[in-house]
Structure 1
C-alpha cells in the first residue's frame, strides 16, 4: 500500500483487466510516484532524532487512522473478526501481510537510512518485483520462465553493482549491513504481494485499513521498548516527517492507488516501478545534496532492465492500450 512496488506484479493469472488510462489516471500516477519517491526523504528527516521503530510505528498509526476514517466515510466496514465460530480468514491474511509487508519493512527502511542515502534506499525498491517473480514461482504456481530467470539474474547483477563497492577489505560495515537490511525489506514487500493474491475478497479500502491497523499494533511494542531504551528526544521536524509519511506516502497514496486500479488497471499502475526510484534520486539530490555515483546508475539501470525482461507486460500493455484504446470499467474497490 505504501510503495507502488509493493503491489503484485501483473501476470496472466493475477492481472486485472487492462483499462484505458485517462488524464486523471496520469495525474494520479504522477502523484503516487512523487509521494513514493519522497517517502525516503521523509524517512531521512525522521531518523535524525527518532528511533527507526518509532518512525515505523508512528507512520503506520497515522496511516491506519487516516485510511480507517476514509473507509467509514465512504461506506465500507471492517469484516467481523470471528466467522462461524472461527477466526476470520480475511483478518488472518491481513495480519500475515501486515507483518511481512509493513511492520518489518517500515522498521528496516529507517534502520538502513541511518547509514545510507535516501536515494540508494529508493533504488533498492526497484528490485522488489524481481523478488516477487521468484517467490510467485515457488509459492503461487507461476512458472519461472527463461525470461524471468534472465531478468532475475540481471537484477541480482544490479544489486551486486550497488553493494560490492561498499564492502571494505576487512569485512562488514554499516553501509553493507544497511543494504542487506534493504534487501530484506524489499523481500518482505514481495512476500506480502504474493500472499495478497490468495487473500479472501474484501473491499480494497477495508483490507488496506485492516492491514495498516494490524501492522501498527505489531510494531508498537518494539517501538515503545526502543524509545525507552534510547531515551531519545524526538524533534518537531522528525514528528512532522512521521506525520507526513503516514498521511501522504502511506495513507493518501493508498487511496489514489485504489482509484487508479479501478480506472486504469494494475498494468498501468505497475509502470510506476520504473519511475519511483528516479523520483527518490531527484529528491535526495535536491533536498540533501546526496551524491549519485556511477555505481548507483549502473545498478539501477541493470535492475530495471531485469524487471522489463522478466515482466514486460505492464509497459507493453500500456503502449498497446495507448495505441488502441478501449473502455472497460467494471472494477470496484
Structure 2
C-alpha cells in the first residue's frame, strides 16, 4: 500500500478512543489475573474476540484482499497475526504478574520509539523529519516524567525484571506489526481484523494447553473481566487499529502510545484510589505538546477545515 497517509477528524477520534480503551485495559487485566492464569487470559480474550469478529465478518460476505495475493503476502499476514495479538497478549498477561499496571501502561510508550525509525525506512510517506524528531523527544520526556512519578514502584517480586522485559517486548511486537500492516495490499479492514484475531487464537490456545494445562473454572468477576477484554480492547480496538493504520499510517497510530500511560495512571487513581502524582499535569502537557508538534500539519488542516 503506497498511498500517502490520510489523517482526518475521524482518525483523531479513533486514536483518542484507542488511547482511552487500552489505557484502562491493564486495570481489567489485573482483576482477571486474580482468577485465571496468564496464557489462558490471553487465549480467552483472543478467542472470544475472534468468534465475535467471525460472526460480524460472515454477515459481510467474508471479503479480505481485493486482488489475489502471493504466498509471501499470506506469510506476512500470519506474522502480523502473531505480533499484533497472540505474542503481546501473552507477554503482557505474564509480565503483569510481576509489575504494576502503571508500568505495563507506561511501557506502551516504547511503541512510538520503535515505529518512527521503522516507518522511515519501510513505509512511503512516513519520513522522520526534524519536526517529528523534536516532537518525539518532547513527548518522550513527558513519558519519562510519568515513569518517574509512579510506574517503577517495586512489587518486591524476584521476577520483576523479567516482567518489565516482557511488557517492553510486547511494545516491540505492536510497533513491528503496525508497520507490516501498513505495507499490505488493498484489504477489507473488518476481514483483516478478523483474520488476525483468528491467527492469534490458533497460536495462543494450544500454547495455553501446553504451558498451563486445562483452564480452571471461572468465578463471575473473572468471567466478566474476560468478556469485557474480548469485546472492547480486543475485538473493537483491533478493528479500530486496522482502520487507523490502513488510512492514517503507523506513525499516527503510534500516538496512542503517548495516551495509554496517562490514562493508565488517571484511571488507576480514579478507580483503584491510587495516589495521583503531582508531576502528572506536567507529563500530560509535554506529551500533548509532542503529539501536536509531530502532527502539526494534520492538526492545522483539521482546524482550518473546521
Query: Scaled by the length of structure 2, what TM-score is found?
Result: 0.78
CA distance in 1, matches of 2:62, 2:204: 26
Deviation of 1:220 after TM superposition, in Å, equals 1.5
Structure 2 vs 1, CA of residues 52 and 305 (structure 1 numbering), >3 Å: closer, same or farther? farther
Does structure 1 retain, via aligned residues, the 8 Å contact 2:65–2:185?
no
Which residue of structure 2 lines up, in the alignment, with residue 134 of structure 1? 117
Q: How does 1:74-153 map to 2 (within 5 A)?
A: 74-78=60-64, 88-140=71-123, 143-147=127-131
CA 138–268 in structure 1, closer or farther in 2 if over 3 Å, else same: closer
Which residue number in structure 2 is paired with residue 7 of structure 1? Answer: none
Per the alignment, do residues 152 and 256 of structure 1 end up closer, same or farther by CA in structure 2, a change over 3 Å counting? closer
Distance change in 2, residues 1:41/1:321 (3 Å): same
Indicate how the Cα distance of structure 1 residues 165 and 259 shifts in structure 2: closer, same or farther if over 3 A, else same: closer
Contact 1:42–1:245 at 8 Å: present in 2 too?
A: yes
Aligned residue number for residue 322 of structure 1? 303
1:3: which partner in 2?
none
C-alpha deviations, 1:189-236, integer Å up to 9, x for none?
11111111221221111111111111111112211122228x755433
Q: 1:286 Cα deviation (Å)?
A: 2.4
From 7, 10, 17, the counterpart of 1:18: 7
Conserved? CA contact 1:55–1:242, under 8 Å: yes
- Alpha-carbon separation, structure 2, partners of 1:249 and 1:89: 29
How do 1:88-237 residues align onto structure 2 when only pairs under 5 Å count?
88-140=71-123, 143-147=127-131, 162=147, 166=152, 173-228=158-213, 234-237=218-221
Aligned equivalents of 1:221 and 1:298: distance in 2?
45
Partners of 2:61 and 2:115 in 1: CA distance = 33
CA RMSD of aligned residues (A): 3.9
Query: 1:200 and 1:102, CA in 2 relative to 1: closer, same or farther beyond 3 A?
Result: same
Mean Cα displacement is larger for which, 94-103 or 269-278?
269-278
Structure 1: unaligned runs, 5 residues or longer: 1-12, 326-333
Equivalent-residue separation in structure 1 for 2:18 and 2:121 (angstroms)? 30
DSSP 3-state at the match of 1:201: coil
Please say which of residues 204-213 and 298-307 is displaced more in the overlay: 298-307
Q: Distance in 1 between matches of 2:141 and 2:258?
A: 17
* 1:301 Cα deviation from its structure 2 partner: 6.6
Q: 1:126–1:304: 8 Å Cα contact kept in structure 2?
A: no
Secondary structure, aligned partner of 1:16? coil
Whole-angstrom distance in 1 between the partners of 2:271 and 2:55: 32
Q: Distance in 1 between matches of 2:56 and 2:177?
A: 23
Question: For the structure 1 residues 21 and 51, does the alpha-carbon distance in structure 2 shift closer, same or farther, using more than 3 Å as the test?
Answer: closer
Distance 1:181 1:258, change over 3 A: closer
Q: Using a 3 Å threshold, how does the CA distance of structure 1 residues 287 and 167 change in structure 2: closer, same or farther?
A: closer
The answer on whether the counterparts of 1:127 and 1:155 sit within 8 Å (CA) in structure 2 is: no
Q: Which residue of 1 aligns with 2:38?
A: 52
SS at match of 1:115: coil
Which of 250, 270, 273 does residue 286 from structure 1 map onto? 270
Partner of 1:8: none
Structure 1 counterpart of 2:234: 250
Q: Residue 40 of structure 1 aligns to a residue in which SS?
A: helix
Q: Distance in 2 between matches of 1:114 and 1:247?
A: 22
Q: Give the number of aligned pairs.
A: 299
Contact 1:115 1:175 in 2 (8 A): yes
Q: Could you list the per-position Cα deviations for residues 131-150 of structure 1 after superposition, in whole angstroms to 9, with x for gaps in the alignment?
A: 10122245447654445555
TM-score when normalising by structure 1: 0.72
Shift of 1:308: 5.6
Query: Relative to 1, partners in 2 of residues 1:245 and 1:287: Cα closer, same or farther, differing over 3 Å?
Result: same
Secondary structure at the aligned position of 2:99 is classed as coil
